[in-house]
Amino acid sequence: MKKIFAALFALTILLQLPAREIVSTMEPLTTKRPYLPRKKSGYALVSNIEKIAYTAYNTSSCIHFTPVNPRHQPVLYLALPKAIKLEGVFRWIDLQKNGSWQYNGEEFDLYCATPQPKASKYTFVWKLTRQLSAGTRLKGYYWGKYAKGEQAPQLLDIQVVDIPEVKGLAKLPVYWSMPGDFFAMLPEFDSIKKCGINHIDIWAYMNPDEAQWGSGNLAAIAPKAARSGIKQIAWIQEWWWAQGQKSDGAAIMADGSKNTSQLCPSYRGEWYKKLIESGKMIIDRGIYFHSTDPEMYSKGDQLCCCQLCTDNFRKFLQQNHPELNFSTLPELAANPAANRLAYNAWRDFKTRQYAAFFGDYRKAMEDYMVQQGLDKRMFKFMIYSSYHRSFPGMYTHKDYRDSWTYNKGLEDPKHFIGIFDYLAPMSYTEVYANYQPYDMLTTWKDTVVQRKITNDRIPVAPILSTGYPFFYAFDCDINAEMLMYVIYEAIAGGAKGFGFWGECPLDANDMRAIALCVKSLQPCEDIIFNGRPDDSLLQADNAMVKCVNSPRGAWVLVSEYSKNPKNVTVKVKSALQGKVTDLASGQTIAVIDGNNRNFTVTLDKQRAKIFSITKE
């Protein structure tokens, strides 16, 4: 704990330096929504703010479109160069190859994509089939046809990128969370594997209404995962948004109303039992790593006042705080100051109930594995947590129990110990910025605060955005360069892995960024896995310096997010000794010993660089 507080103190002092010297934000990437007059329709490319369709040789990657004025139900036409194969499309879109198309003297392969009424994603998978040098530009075209008209062909600016094939990290999970039918649609997983992703987090769709469809997806995924060596995680697809809250699971609020958007924390009824059964079906399919994205509560300070929760809270007080008492829970909610100690105990009780909901799920899965002759130690559990777009995150509070996440969301990471094997704070840099400058320390902060609360007893592996989590790229985006920076900041905060949220179709440039990150982290994987952040070991006057230290050496991040070129002198203030290696190039740039305690880093276009200090 002392080291965690030392790291926080060191960076706090650093960030208090004049803004002109050290900048921790970058300008937001925003643009306007595509527009057509209301009587016209068509499509726009929204894979990224650059409006470039990236592709890579022999690599399945995503491109993404959106309809403009979709009420006209436009059909999308794609004309692609012969060197590119369109491999598939995601969910509720019928794709056909319609021969060839001539335009300006060039011939293209023509594809027709007809959306069904429920279509919403418009994510396509393609592959460059001919090896071309990085930076090569190709032309394609796209347009929409609808009942009363046709969009003029729009240029599809295609750029080739080179994705280095990397060996995945052995100890740190790098995961991609996407729907099961997306992974079932992908022709192979080798493209994912070679860019450094070692886990896929599958939205399993195994609740009673979808189990047949979900099972089919899992059956299609399993052999591809086995061939590639990709490990599977199953997101258990919680039921409470749709079913549980509308029945006996609805919470009773302090005003006496039954709220069908909030779950009773004591609920273990019909739909909870079905959740357990769906988990067992996932176990039966050989997937022992489960994940959950609950986001169950937004009014936790006003619930639950049902008789069962009231009785359970009285028992909790008798066992843990026999000196405390209360009249009714509605009175406690209405006037916390009148009985502050009991109110605080109620808050603690509710966060324990939240955790116990998943603790019971874990126990059920482990018991079932034992019944099936499996080693229950193989079971792993991860929670996506701490979403905070509309309110400050836990890090901003001196006491995290003052946060919205604790009081209204009922999350206390301290109570997750022993229940979850990984904490995955949802750390969406561009989303949380709300169109303001991006705080490039978001992933660092979200990681550090979870580690601090749990005293490093649960590994933190934040889930990140690659630029389209909730908004199209024309609203806000994070480019491949920024993606590398937020990964490095997470590792600097003590992350033991990282992943990418499923509303983010990875284009080839994103995959390249992930591959470069994984490649640069590989030499220090043991240091990162076994080490702990200690930013007091190094210091610079005009940049941020963060360090993960271990007996085998140190991993170092030097970052500053202005646009001004900087020469940064990093001062080694500790007993660290050894060669300083630039992990991007593999070159030794200095030797730290009794005669030399400094090394110099140039921050030019690249605003975050990583190094190792290891004994020779």
**Nearest alpha carbon to residue 556 among 513, 592, 511:** 592
Domain enclosing residue 595, as ranges: 2-28+532-614
Work out the pLDDT band at 225, boundaries 50, 70, 90. very high
3-state secondary structure of 587: strand
Beta bridge pairs of residue 107: 102
* Domain end position, chosen among 160, 176, 203: 160
Gap between the Cα atoms of 428 and 385, Å rounded: 12
Q: Are residues 65 and 128 in the same domain?
A: yes
Q: pLDDT tens digits, residue range 355-378?
A: 999 999 999 999 999 999 999 999
Can you give the pLDDT at residue 16?
A: 45
Q: What is the pTM of this model?
A: 0.94
The total number of structural domains that make up the chain: 2
Can you give the pLDDT at residue 249?
A: 87
Q: 128 vs 63, 71, 552, CA distance in Å?
A: 13, 33, 41
Work out the pLDDT band at 347, boundaries 50, 70, 90. very high
Beta bridge pairs of residue 500: 176, 464
Tell me the two tokens of residue 105.
């003297």
Q: Are residues 20 and 82 in the same domain?
A: no
> What average pLDDT score do residues 259-263 get?
89
| Contact present, 465 and 442 (Cβ < 8 Å) | no
Q: Are residues 55 and 147 in the same domain?
A: yes
Can you give the pLDDT at residue 414?
A: 98
* Domain end position, chosen among 132, 160, 188: 160
Q: Are residues 152 and 61 in the same domain?
A: yes
Which residues have CB under 8 Å from 61's CB, separation 6+? 54, 55, 125, 126, 127, 191, 506, 507, 508, 511
* Domain end position, chosen among 129, 160, 191: 160
**Nearest alpha carbon to residue 538 among 566, 580, 496:** 580
Q: pLDDT tens digits, residue range 398-412?
A: 999 999 999 999 999
Asked if residue 207 is part of any domain, the answer here is: no
Helix, strand, coil percentages for the chain (3-state, nearest 5)? 30, 30, 40
Gap between the Cα atoms of 62 and 503, Å rounded: 12
Residue 32 has pLDDT above 50, yes or no: yes
The CATH number of residue 23's host domain is 2.60.40.1180
Q: pLDDT tens digits, residue range 56-98?
A: 999 999 999 999 999 999 999 999 999 999 999 999 999 999 9
Q: Are residues 11 and 95 in the same domain?
A: no
Asked if residue 374 is part of any domain, the answer here is: no
Q: Are residues 109 and 6 in the same domain?
A: no
Asked if residue 75 is part of any domain, the answer here is: yes
Can you give the pLDDT at residue 9?
A: 46
> What average pLDDT score do residues 471-497 get?
91
Asked if residue 435 is part of any domain, the answer here is: no
Q: Are residues 8 and 106 in the same domain?
A: no
Range in 20-24, 494-498, 527-531, 602-606 with the lowest mean pLDDT: 20-24
Gap between the Cα atoms of 289 and 438, Å rounded: 33
The CATH number of residue 154's host domain is 2.60.40.1510
Q: Are residues 112 and 77 in the same domain?
A: yes
